Structure 1
Amino acid sequence: MASSVSTAALLVLPFPTGCSSDDSDDAKPLPPPHASEATSPTPQHQLQRRRQLERECNVAMKALARAGDIDQVLALFAEIRTSGQGQGCTTPPNVLCYNTLVNSLAEAGRVAEAHDAFDEMLAAGVAPNVSSLNILVKLHSWRSSRFDLAYKEILRMRELGVEADVGTYSTLVTGLCRVGRTGEAWGVLEWMLEEGCYPMVQTYTPIVQGYCHEGRVEEAMEVMATMERAGCPPNVVTYNVLIRALCDAARFDEVKQVLAESRSKDWTPSTVTYNTFMNGLCKKGMAKEALEQLNVMLGEGLDPSDFTLSILLNCLCHDSRVSDAIDLLERSTSLKWYAGVVGYNTVMSRLCGMGNWMGVLKLLTDMVKKGITPNTRTFNVFIRSLCFGGKLSIAKSLLHSQGFVANIVTYNTLIYWFYYYKKLSEVQHLISDMAVEKIAPDEVTYTVIIDGLCRDEKFDMATSCFLESLERGLSRDLLAVLINRLAHSGKIWEIFRVFQGMEREGFLPDNCIFDRTIRSFCRAGFCHDRDIFKLNLILDTMLGKN
C-alpha cells in the first residue's frame, strides 16, 4: 500500500514517446484503393477549418474519455466524421482523432469496438503511426494479456511502414511482467536491441518490479546494476520499487544504505520514497524508527503528504501511543503540514476504542476551531464514544445535527447501545427513523436486533426478524447468532419454526446448518440423557430432508 503511488507512476508508460508524437497533423493518408474513389482537393480555407475542428474535438474527446463518458466520445467522433460533407468535403478524421477514439475504447474495456475503430481507420485510408501501434500493443498486453496478438500487431504495422519504438517495447515488457512472465520480458529486451532500439528506464523498471514482486530482490538489484552499465541508470521510481521490496523483507539496514548512496548514484529520494520506508517500518511496529525517518525527510527539505501523516498516525495509534499521535497532530501545524479530517478520525477512533470519550470531544473541538469540517465518520466515532460513556441521549441528539448525514453505521451503533441498556422503545424509534430516512437495514442491523431481542428473551420476535431478513438474502453468520441464542435457551420449537420459515422463503436448510445447530445444542449441554431427545428431533428433521 505504501508504494501504490509509485506503482501507478511506474505503470503509466509514456504514450506517445518522443519519437511517436501525436502533436502533429502531418500523417500522410494511405493511397485510395481505387483511383475512382479519389476526391478533388479541398480548398485551403476549408482544410484549415477542418484541421482546427479536429484539434479542438481531439482535446474534447480526451477530456471526455478521462471522465469516463465514452458514449460522448463516440458521438463527438461521429460529428467529426460527418462535418463538411454538405460542402463536399469527404476527408476522414485524421490519425490523431482515430488514435484517441481507439485508446478511449480500449481503456474502457470495449475491446471489440476498439478493433473496429482501428479497422475503420485503415479502410478510410488514414495511415496509422507509431502511437496507433502503441495503443494496440497496450490493448493486447495490458487488457487481455494476448501477447501473441501484440507480437502480430508489431509485425503487421511494420508491413504498413510503421516501426515499433521504445514505447512499444516498454509497453510489451510491462504487460509481460504484470503477469509474471519476466523471462519473456528479457527476450523482448534482446529483440529491441537487435532492432537497434535502446531501452530506457521505463523499459527496465517493470522487470525490477517483477522480480521484487516474486521476492527475488537480489535479481532485481542485478537488473539495476545492468541498467547502470548500459548507461541507463535507475531513477527514483525504480529505487522506490526496490525499497518497498526491501521493507517487505524487513531489510531496513539495506534501505538506509540505498538512501545513503543516493547522492553518489545521482538520484534524489522523494516524499514517496520516505513514505514507503516509513510505512514498512510501521508495519513491523517500529514507530520510533519511522518518526526518525520523518525528521530525516524534513531535513532533506521534503514536505510530508497527507499519506505521510496517515502512515504515522495509524502506526502510533496501533502501538497505543495515542499521546504521541496527538502531539504529531499539533506539530503538523508548525510544520505547515495539513492535518485533515482523516488524520483526526484515525486518532479519535483509537481514543474511542480506549473509552476516552472526553479525548474524542477535545479533538473534535480542535478540528472545528481549525476550520476542518467533520465528516460522517467523525460523527460516527463521536457517537460511538458517547455511547461507550453512557451518554446515549446526547449521542442520539446528534442525529439531527446540522451538516451531519447519518448512515447505516450511525443507526447500527445507536441500536446496539440502546439494546445494551435495555431501552427497547428507543430502538423502535430508531428503526422507524431509518425507514423514514430510507436507510435499509444491513446484516449488522439484523444481527444487533436479533441478538438484542434474544438477550431480552423475546425469541418469537427474534425469529420473525430473522425470517424477515431472508428477503434480503440468507446469511449463515446471522443464522448462527440466532441458533446459538435459541440453543442456549433451549428453544427447540423456535428452531423448527426457523427451519420451516426458511423453507417457505425457498432456503432449504442443508447439512451444514443442521450440523451447526446440533453443535450449538451440544455446547449448551443438551447431550445428557434427559435432553438427548431434542437432538434426536433435529436429526429426524435432517434425515427427512435427505
Structure 2
Amino acid sequence: MKRVPAINATSLLKRDFSNHLSSSSSSLQLIPRCDDPPKPIILNPLYNLLPNTQNPNRIVDVICSSLNQQRDFLPSNLHNSVKSLIPHLGHREISRVLLRFQSDATRALSFFNWVKSDSGLTPNVGNYCLLLHVLAWSKKFPLAMQFLCELIELVANKEEEEEEDVFSVLVSATDECNWDPVVFDMLVKAYLKLGLVEEGYSVFRKVVAFGFRVSVVTCNHLLNGLLKLDLTDDCWRVYRVMRRVGILPNAHTINVLTNVFCNGSSFNQVNEFLEKMEEEEGFEPDLVTYNTLVSSYCRRGRLKEAFYLYKIMYRRRVVPDLVTYTCLIKGLCKEGRVREAHQTFHRMVDRGIKPDCVSYNTLIYAYCKEGVMEQAKRLLHEMLGSSVVPDRFTCKIIVEGFVRGGRLLAAVNFVVELTRLRVRVPFEVCSFLMESLCREGKPFAAKHLLERITEEEGREVKLETYNSLIESFSRCDAIDEALLLKGELTSQNQVLGVESYRALIGCLCRIGRYREAESLMVEMIDSEVKPDSCICGALVNGYCKVLDFAKAESLLSFFAVEFRIFDIESYNLLVKAICETGSGYEKVLELQERMQRVGFVPNTLSCKYMIQGLSQRDGLM
C-alpha cells in the first residue's frame, strides 16, 4: 500500500471529507490527541544550570539520547538515566519521544514497553495511537495488531463515561506523524479478532465514512461475525457498502452471502443471487458453495434438490467431499430412510473418502433411534477398525439406545467392552447407566459397573451416584450393601442427602430394625440434615407394629416440637393401632389431649378410628 506523507494526508482529510462528514450520521470531529491537561511550562532559568539528567525541561532530550546511545536496549539503563526526572514524565512527553522515533520503530517500541512496565505511568489512548502509526508505517503489522487489541481491551475496561473512541483518536494522531491507512483496516479486524463484532461493524462504518479503504478479507471476517450473530440485515448492509465503495467481493464473500440466504427466510432467492454473481462477477460456485446449498436443502427436507445438486457437482468437476456426503446422510436419516443413508455412506467410502466421527455418529444415532442396536454396535466396531475414536456422543447414544429398549445389562456389557478396548467412556454416560439400573431395581449391576470404572480408570465418583445406589439398595431391602456404601461416604467426610436417609430409615423399619433406624435419624439430625414427614411416618409405623405406642407417641411429639412436622397420617395410624388393641377409649382420649398440646388437630379419620374403637369396646360392632 502506498505511503502518504503526513502533511498531505492531513490536508486530504480536512479537504476531501469535510462535506461528507457534515452530512453523515457517523461523522467524527478531529479531537486533540492527548487527553491529559498540559503541564505548566517550567520557566525557572535556574533549572538550566542543572545537569541534563536533572533538568525537567530536558526530559525528552535525555530519554532520546539514552535510547540512541544503547545498541541493545536495557530498561535498567534508561531507568537510571532519567530516574530523577520520572515524576515529570507525562503523556505529552511520551508522545514527543514517540514522534522523535517515528522512523525507528524498534526504539519507539522499547521506550513504550518501558513506560508500561517500569515508569509507573499508564500510556493513554493518544500514546497508543502514535505507537500504532509508527508500527504500521514501519510495516510491523503483527505488533501493531497486538497493541491494537491491547488498546481496545484497555478502553473497554474503562468506566462508560471515560470511554474514548479509538478511531477518532487514531485519526487525529495523523496530524503529527507518518501514517499508513492500513492501520484503519487493522482496527476493524482487531475488534473482530476480540469477538466484538457489533463494535467492529460500527467502526467499519466510520472507517468507510472517512474514505479509508477496508480490505475484502476484513469485510469477509465482518460478514462471518455478523452471520454467526444472525444479523443478516447488517450482512446485506455491509455488502451494499462494499459495492458502493468499490470493494470487489471474492469467492469467500459470495459463499458467506450464500450462507446468509440459506439461514434466512429468503432461501428461495439464493439461486437467483448466484446466477447474478456468475453473470456480473464471473463467480463459479465452488465446493463450499455447493456444500452450503446441499446442507440447507437437507435441513429443510428437500432431498430431491440436494441430490440433484450432488449430481451437478460432478458435471461441473467439483468433487463432493466428506461434508457433502455427511449432509446427505444426515438428511436421509432425518427422513427415516436409514437404509438409503447407509448406502450413501458405503458409496462415500468406495470413492476413497474416509468417514469421520460425525458421519459415523449420524448413522449410529439413526439405528439407535429405530432400536437396531446390533447394527449400531457393528458401526462402532467399524469405527475402531478404521482408527476413528468414538467421542462422548457415540457412547451416549448407544447406551441410551440400549436403556430405551430395556436392555440394561446389554448396556453394561457394552460399556465394559469399551473399557476393555481402551475407549474412554465419559463418566456422565456411566452415571446415566448406573442411575437407570438403580431405577430398575438392579443396584448390584450398577455397583459392579461403578467398581470396574473406578478401579480401571481411577475416576472420582459423584455424591449423587452414591445416593442413587443407596436408595436403590434400600428399596430392594439390601440394607447391608446400602449401609456399606454409606460407610464409604462417611469415611470420605461426605454427608448424605435427605433422600438417602429416607430410603435407609424406611428399609430398616420395613425389616424390623427400628432401633437402628432411630439411631440413623439421630445421626441425620447431628449432620444438620432436616428430616421429613416420610421419615416420621416410617418410624411411627414401625413402633406401632411392635405395639410400642409410647415410643411412637414420643417420636410424633419430637417431630412436631423440634421440626414443626405434624404428620396427621402417622397420628391416625397410632390412634388406629391403639383402638385395635382394645386398650381402652380413655387411652385414646388422653393421647388426643397430649397431641393437641403440641399442635396436632384430629381430622375426620381420627374421629372415625375413635368411634370404631368405642363401638368395639361396647360390643356394637
TM-score bracket for this pair, using the shorter chain length: 0.5 to 0.7
Pick aligned residue for 1:171 from 244, 249, 256: 256
**Cα deviations across residues 151-207 of structure 1 (Å, max 9, x unaligned)?**
332232233331112222222222322235321222332232221122222222232
- State the alpha-carbon separation in 1 of the partners of residues 195 and 336 from structure 2: 42
- State the alpha-carbon separation in 2 of the partners of residues 164 and 85 from structure 1: 31
CA separation of 1:432 and 1:154: change in aligned 2, threshold 3 A: farther
Shift of 1:32: 4.1
Partner in structure 2 of residue 96 of structure 1: 186
Partner in structure 1 of residue 12 of structure 2: 35
- State the alpha-carbon separation in 1 of the partners of residues 253 and 488 from structure 2: 57
Number of residue pairs matched? 426
Q: Does 1:46 align with 2:46?
A: no
Partner in structure 1 of residue 145 of structure 2: 58
CA RMSD across the alignment = 5.0
Q: Does 1:235 align with 2:325?
A: no
Q: Secondary structure at 2:497's aligned position in 1?
A: helix
Shift of 1:252: 1.7
The one-letter code of the counterpart of 2:105 is Q
- State the alpha-carbon separation in 1 of the partners of residues 12 and 272 from structure 2: 44
Partner in structure 2 of residue 504 of structure 1: none
Pick aligned residue for 1:285 from 371, 376, 389: 371
- State the alpha-carbon separation in 2 of the partners of residues 424 and 60 from structure 1: 69
Q: Does 1:254 align with 2:340?
A: yes
Shift of 1:96: 2.9
Shift of 1:53: 6.9
Could you tell me whether the CA contact under 8 Å between 2:291 and 2:324 is conserved in 1? Answer: yes
- State the alpha-carbon separation in 1 of the partners of residues 456 and 165 from structure 2: 49
Q: Does 1:311 align with 2:397?
A: yes
Pick aligned residue for 1:324 from 403, 410, 416: 410
Partner in structure 1 of residue 244 of structure 2: 159
- State the alpha-carbon separation in 2 of the partners of residues 219 and 81 from structure 1: 53
Partner in structure 2 of residue 341 of structure 1: 427
CA separation of 1:156 and 1:36: change in aligned 2, threshold 3 A: closer
1:473-512 matches, cutoff 5 A = none
- State the alpha-carbon separation in 2 of the partners of residues 258 and 312 from structure 1: 22
CA separation of 1:381 and 1:253: change in aligned 2, threshold 3 A: same
Q: Secondary structure at 1:285's aligned position in 2?
A: coil
Pick aligned residue for 2:458 from 372, 380, 402: 372
Q: Does 1:185 align with 2:270?
A: yes
Higher relative contact order, chain-length normalized (CA < 8 Å, sep 6+)? 1
- State the alpha-carbon separation in 2 of the partners of residues 251 and 69 from structure 1: 55
Could you tell me whether the CA contact under 8 Å between 1:325 and 1:347 is conserved in 2? Answer: yes
Shift of 1:355: 2.0
Could you tell me whether the CA contact under 8 Å between 2:10 and 2:174 is conserved in 1? Answer: no
Shift of 1:41: 11
CA separation of 1:247 and 1:451: change in aligned 2, threshold 3 A: farther
Report the structure number with the largest CA radius of gyration.
2
Could you tell me whether the CA contact under 8 Å between 1:57 and 1:80 is conserved in 2? Answer: no
- State the alpha-carbon separation in 1 of the partners of residues 379 and 366 from structure 2: 11
Q: Secondary structure at 1:370's aligned position in 2?
A: helix
- State the alpha-carbon separation in 2 of the partners of residues 358 and 190 from structure 1: 66
**Cα deviations across residues 13-35 of structure 1 (Å, max 9, x unaligned)?**
xxxxxxxxxxxxx5978984733
Pick aligned residue for 1:209 from 282, 295, 302: 295
Shift of 1:414: 2.2
- State the alpha-carbon separation in 2 of the partners of residues 71 and 271 from structure 1: 40
- State the alpha-carbon separation in 1 of the partners of residues 434 and 242 from structure 2: 59
**Cα deviations across residues 282-302 of structure 1 (Å, max 9, x unaligned)?**
011110111122233334343
CA separation of 1:43 and 1:339: change in aligned 2, threshold 3 A: same
The one-letter code of the counterpart of 1:385 is S
Q: Does 1:150 align with 2:235?
A: yes
CA separation of 1:336 and 1:72: change in aligned 2, threshold 3 A: farther
Could you tell me whether the CA contact under 8 Å between 1:313 and 1:347 is conserved in 2? Answer: yes
The one-letter code of the counterpart of 1:164 is P
Q: Secondary structure at 1:157's aligned position in 2?
A: helix
Deviates more, 1:93-102 or 1:194-203: 93-102
Could you tell me whether the CA contact under 8 Å between 1:275 and 1:308 is conserved in 2? Answer: yes
CA separation of 1:127 and 1:312: change in aligned 2, threshold 3 A: same
Could you tell me whether the CA contact under 8 Å between 2:191 and 2:200 is conserved in 1? Answer: yes
- State the alpha-carbon separation in 2 of the partners of residues 400 and 158 from structure 1: 71
CA separation of 1:87 and 1:282: change in aligned 2, threshold 3 A: same
Shift of 1:129: 0.8
Could you tell me whether the CA contact under 8 Å between 1:177 and 1:210 is conserved in 2? Answer: yes
The one-letter code of the counterpart of 1:46 is A
Q: Secondary structure at 1:338's aligned position in 2?
A: coil
The one-letter code of the counterpart of 1:156 is V
- State the alpha-carbon separation in 1 of the partners of residues 525 and 166 from structure 2: 52
Q: Does 1:137 align with 2:223?
A: yes
- State the alpha-carbon separation in 2 of the partners of residues 171 and 282 from structure 1: 35
Q: Does 1:268 align with 2:358?
A: no
CA separation of 1:159 and 1:259: change in aligned 2, threshold 3 A: same
The one-letter code of the counterpart of 2:416 is E
CA separation of 1:84 and 1:158: change in aligned 2, threshold 3 A: closer
Q: Secondary structure at 1:198's aligned position in 2?
A: coil
CA separation of 1:161 and 1:36: change in aligned 2, threshold 3 A: closer
Shift of 1:277: 0.4
The one-letter code of the counterpart of 2:425 is A
Q: What are structure 1's unaligned runs of at least 5 residues?
A: 1-25, 436-444, 468-481, 490-523, 525-546
1:453-472 matches, cutoff 5 A = none
**Cα deviations across residues 376-419 of structure 1 (Å, max 9, x unaligned)?**
254444344344344554454455454x877xxx7363255367
Could you tell me whether the CA contact under 8 Å between 1:61 and 1:76 is conserved in 2? Answer: no
- State the alpha-carbon separation in 1 of the partners of residues 14 and 177 from structure 2: 13
CA separation of 1:198 and 1:69: change in aligned 2, threshold 3 A: farther
The one-letter code of the counterpart of 1:178 is N
Shift of 1:275: 1.3
- State the alpha-carbon separation in 1 of the partners of residues 407 and 155 from structure 2: 49
TM-score (structure 2 length as normaliser): 0.56
- State the alpha-carbon separation in 2 of the partners of residues 248 and 37 from structure 1: 61
Could you tell me whether the CA contact under 8 Å between 1:348 and 1:363 is conserved in 2? Answer: yes
Q: Secondary structure at 1:158's aligned position in 2?
A: helix
Q: Secondary structure at 1:197's aligned position in 2?
A: coil
CA separation of 1:45 and 1:81: change in aligned 2, threshold 3 A: farther
- State the alpha-carbon separation in 2 of the partners of residues 165 and 207 from structure 1: 18
- State the alpha-carbon separation in 2 of the partners of residues 370 and 27 from structure 1: 65
CA separation of 1:278 and 1:144: change in aligned 2, threshold 3 A: closer
Deviates more, 1:136-145 or 1:421-430: 421-430
Could you tell me whether the CA contact under 8 Å between 2:333 and 2:366 is conserved in 1? Answer: yes
Q: What are structure 2's unaligned runs of at least 5 residues?
A: 16-32, 34-98, 110-134, 510-516, 542-555, 574-604, 606-621
CA separation of 1:43 and 1:430: change in aligned 2, threshold 3 A: same
Could you tell me whether the CA contact under 8 Å between 1:142 and 1:175 is conserved in 2? Answer: no
CA separation of 1:174 and 1:416: change in aligned 2, threshold 3 A: farther
Could you tell me whether the CA contact under 8 Å between 1:411 and 1:434 is conserved in 2? Answer: no
**Cα deviations across residues 523-546 of structure 1 (Å, max 9, x unaligned)?**
x9xxxxxxxxxxxxxxxxxxxxxx
Pick aligned residue for 1:244 from 305, 324, 330: 330
Could you tell me whether the CA contact under 8 Å between 2:325 and 2:345 is conserved in 1? Answer: no
The one-letter code of the counterpart of 1:182 is F
Shift of 1:357: 2.1
Over the matched positions of the two proteins, sequence identity in percent amounts to: 20
